[in-house]
């Protein structure tokens, strides 16, 4: 027990002084940003002002979390010393229970420490596309949508469906989802790639076993200041009537918007909002996220080329298998983490996979250092 308390008390100091999250440095950054907010012309550039305020909130929240952890650790150590000195078994039991809770919080903080990328603190844009497999794959894409919605709910994140194309019989052909919450992109970027499902098909009269695929794209929400510059002349904007399942028109007015970025050929659309203006706004948000992700991929490919590494992308990058028949297992092919509790995973219990991937990634980076 004393070993647990002692080890916990030493962790916050060592972590706060690490290069991953240096609290004193972050407090200096807060001071610099706060000084900027005091300038008389601070709100003359609303977009820059919003960017600074968002940075302040994110950094302050993280500092407060770590400081709170440090304080709670010190309190538990003092309580343990008191209980041990007085032989108070009831207090020792309470302290032990609190240490278990604190250890769970530490695990969560350790998970967040891996999120040191330049865009990890951003919100996320997630796109799910049904692959080969017809109705089964469309149903699988909808199952994945539910899984990520439940995961976001578990973490207290907000979600909004920006665009959805329903399948003819069931499921969805594609869906674009916004996930709003601190470090949403940092957590979800490990989920990009191809997800494979093996099950007895509910759409097959013979109830045969089918394999279905869906592609998950994860993009950081682009900052309104400086991330991506879009020339209006590079855009072709079309409007059309929003459609429902099976392709039937569900609105009399042309409120849906399709935007084509001519230089890259990227096409995005949005039809979920009733207002054409709102649909255009959402489509531009997805477009800027896709352009930012394109820049990130180009940078990663260049870094991999310099290091002599191969970077697989798109449909060839199968990251995880979900087997529901003849046995139940979900296995990540990058970290080799697996579980037989497929129902829990499909209900949003993804953090063990995310943590295993991050640990495996950090391990590979350490080997290459």
User: Which residues have a Cβ under 8 Å from the Cβ of 297 and sit 6 or more positions away?
Assistant: 313
According to the model, what pLDDT value does residue 18 have? 38
Question: In this structure, what are the phi and psi dihedrals at residue 352, rounded to the nearest 5 degrees?
Answer: -60, -35
| Alpha carbon distance 368, 308 (integer Å) | 12
Half-sphere exposure of 12 toward its Cβ, with a 13 Å CA cutoff?
Answer: 21
According to the model, what pLDDT value does residue 224 have? 60
Reported as a single tens digit per residue, the pLDDT across 280-338 is 989 999 999 999 999 888 877 776 666 555 444 445 668 999 999 999 999 999 999 99
What are the angstrom distances between the C-alpha of 239 and each of 77, 262, 277? 63, 16, 11
The mean pLDDT values, 10 residues at a time, for the chain of 369 residues are 50 40 80 90 84 82 83 87 86 86 77 76 92 89 97 95 89 94 91 93 85 93 75 90 54 76 92 83 91 86 63 65 95 95 97 89 55
According to the model, what pLDDT value does residue 354 have? 93
Reported as a single tens digit per residue, the pLDDT across 135-175 is 999 999 999 999 999 999 999 999 999 889 898 889 999 99
Highest CATH level, class, for 2-113: mainly alpha
Q: Where are the domains of the chain?
A: 2-113, 124-223+310-368, 232-306
Domain 124-223+310-368 in the same topology as domain 2-113: no
According to the model, what pLDDT value does residue 249 have? 45
For residue 275, what are its two tokens? 């207002």
Range 232-306 has CATH code 3.40.50.1100: no
**What angle in degrees, to the nearest 10, is found between the helix axes of 46-86 and 23-37?**
140
SS3 (DSSP) at 250: coil
State the pTM of this model.
0.72
Pairing of strands 193-200, 318-323: parallel
Task: Domain 124-223+310-368: give its CATH code.
Answer: 3.30.70.1660
DSSP conformational letter for 243? B
According to the model, what pLDDT value does residue 19 have? 36
């Amino acid at each position: 027990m004393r070993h647990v308390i002692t080890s916990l008390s030493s962790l916050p100091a060592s972590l706060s002084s690490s290069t991953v999250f240096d609290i004193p440095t972050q407090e200096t950054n807060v001071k610099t940003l706060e000084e900027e907010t005091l300038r008389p012309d601070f709100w003359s550039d609303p977009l820059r002002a919003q960017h600074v305020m968002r940075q302040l909130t994110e950094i302050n929240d993280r500092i407060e979390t770590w400081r709170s952890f440090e304080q709670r650790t010190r309190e538990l150590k003092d309580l343990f010393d008191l209980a041990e000195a007085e032989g108070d078994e009831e207090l020792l039991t309470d302290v032990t229970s609190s240490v278990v809770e604190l250890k769970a919080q530490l695990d969560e903080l350790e998970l967040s420490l891996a999120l040191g990328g330049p865009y990890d603190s951003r919100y996320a844009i997630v796109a799910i596309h049904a692959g080969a497999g017809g109705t089964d794959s469309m149903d699988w894409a909808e199952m994945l949508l539910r899984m990520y919605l439940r995961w976001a709910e578990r973490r207290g994140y907000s979600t909004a469906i920006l665009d959805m194309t329903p399948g003819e019989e069931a499921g969805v052909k594609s869906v674009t989802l916004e996930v709003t919450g601190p470090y949403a992109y940092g957590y979800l970027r490990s989920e990009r790639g191809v997800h494979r499902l093996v099950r007895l098909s509910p759409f097959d009269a013979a109830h045969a076993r089918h394999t279905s695929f869906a592609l998950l794209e994860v993009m950081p929400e682009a900052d309104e200041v400086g991330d991506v510059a879009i020339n209006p002349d590079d855009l072709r904007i079309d409007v059309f009537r929003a459609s429902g399942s099976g392709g039937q028109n569900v609105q009399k007015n042309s409120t849906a918007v399709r935007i084509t970025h001519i230089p890259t050929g990227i096409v995005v659309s949005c039809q979920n909002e009733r207002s054409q203006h709102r649909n255009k706004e959402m489509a531009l948000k997805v477009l800027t996220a896709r352009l930012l992700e394109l820049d990130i991929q180009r940078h990663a490919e260049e870094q991999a080329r310099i290091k002599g590494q191969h970077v697989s992308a798109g449909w060839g990058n199968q990251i995880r298998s979900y087997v529901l028949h003849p046995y139940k297992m979900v296995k990540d092919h990058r970290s080799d983490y697996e579980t037989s509790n497929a129902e829990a995973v499909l209900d949003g219990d993804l953090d063990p996979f995310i943590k295993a991937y991050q640990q495996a990634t950090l391990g590979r980076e350490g080997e290459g250092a």
